[in-house]
Amino acid sequence: MDKTNILIVEDDPIIAADLQDRLEEMGYRTLGPVARGEDAPAFFEKPILPDLVIMDVQLEGEWDGIETTRRIQEKHDLPIIFLTSNSDDATFSKAKSTKPAAFLSKPFRGRDLKHAIELAISQAAAKTLAAQQPEAAENTFLFKDRLFIKSKDQMVRLFFKDILWVEADDYYCKVVTAGREYLVTQTLKKFNEELAGVPEMMRVHRSFIVNLSHVEAIGELSLQVGNTKIQFSRNMRDELLNRLKNI
């Protein structure tokens, strides 16, 4: 699988080098770094294009990070994460107007950097998928033993027994079967409410509803469906075991 390309726009050479090392250790491909905002757009004319930008708010040259972001967004739609050592309200409000994927304050922790990138990529992927699959924005219709999901120009029938699990994906739900995944514009909470009368479907975690009929093994804090391990909340273990006895 091709690596995600991250462009670093940072005028502090020590921070830029540290960022580059951390990102490459996480498995990303880094582009740059560049210290001037005016030099960033050139990376969108090269064969290897950025998938995400980590942008310092304060930069050398005429463009600060906010202006550089605006220039990039005029032609390209991709997530941008701001780095800032200046957290005053005015700077934050100005930066927020560009709708960045995340803010990271300097100094930042590796874990925060990792989570910010994963969240930014996830949101961008969901946005792209929704644009490519307009049917994902249609309603889902639930019945006694099945649901219907609109796919292209037809309603696709999906029996509850064929669902392996349902996973939260930002404002969407991803319904997973053995052969396909379906994106539904509904929060997991709302989807779970509609599945309340289906005994084999159980919300085991804030991010997962699982079809208990497909559970093959249960660990201390995870269960297995096929080759996939799914975490469940500690306080759900007793209810999970009781529900398994009754399906």
pLDDT band for 225, please (50, 70, 90 cuts): very high
Same structural domain, 170 and 80: no
Euclidean distance between CA atoms 116 and 105, whole angstroms: 12
Output the average pLDDT for the chain. 85
Euclidean distance between CA atoms 149 and 137, whole angstroms: 10
* pLDDT for the residue numbered 154: 53
Same structural domain, 90 and 141: no
Same structural domain, 187 and 242: yes
Where does a domain end: 132, 157, 187? 132
Same structural domain, 116 and 167: no
Contacts of 220 (CB under 8 A, 6+ apart): none
Same structural domain, 128 and 139: no
CA–CA distance from 86 to each of 33, 57, 106, 167 (Å)?
21, 8, 8, 37
Same structural domain, 16 and 100: yes
Tens of pLDDT, residue by residue over 81-139, are 999 887 667 777 888 889 998 899 888 889 899 889 988 887 776 565 455 454 444 45
Same structural domain, 89 and 165: no
pLDDT band for 143, please (50, 70, 90 cuts): low
The percent of residues in the chain predicted with pLDDT above 70, rounded, is: 87
* pLDDT for the residue numbered 4: 83
Listed range (17-26, 94-103, 207-216) with the worst mean pLDDT: 94-103
Same structural domain, 70 and 153: no
CA–CA distance from 56 to each of 24, 88, 130, 157 (Å)?
19, 15, 30, 48
pLDDT band for 62, please (50, 70, 90 cuts): very high
Structural domain of 186: 135-246
Max avg pLDDT among 163-172, 187-196, 210-219 = 210-219
Tens of pLDDT, residue by residue over 156-176, are 778 899 999 999 987 788 899
Same structural domain, 173 and 239: yes
Where does a domain end: 69, 103, 132? 132
Contacts of 139 (CB under 8 A, 6+ apart): 150
Domain of 78, CATH number, reads: 3.40.50.2300
Same structural domain, 10 and 114: yes
Same structural domain, 88 and 143: no
Domain of 231, CATH number, reads: 2.40.50.1020
* pLDDT for the residue numbered 233: 85
Task: Classify burial at 153, counting beta carbons within 10 Å of its beta carbon; exposed 0-12, middle 13-18, buried 19 or more.
Answer: exposed
Same structural domain, 225 and 236: yes
Of the candidates 121, 130, 131, the one whose C-alpha atom is nearest the C-alpha of residue 101 is 121
Euclidean distance between CA atoms 66 and 39, whole angstroms: 14
Of the candidates 67, 70, 69, 105, the one whose C-alpha atom is nearest the C-alpha of residue 88 is 105
How open is the CA angle 172-178-185, to the nearest 5 degrees? 15
Tens of pLDDT, residue by residue over 42-57, are 999 998 899 999 999 9
pLDDT band for 238, please (50, 70, 90 cuts): confident
SS3 state of residue 74: coil
Instruction: Report the domain count for the chain.
Output: 2
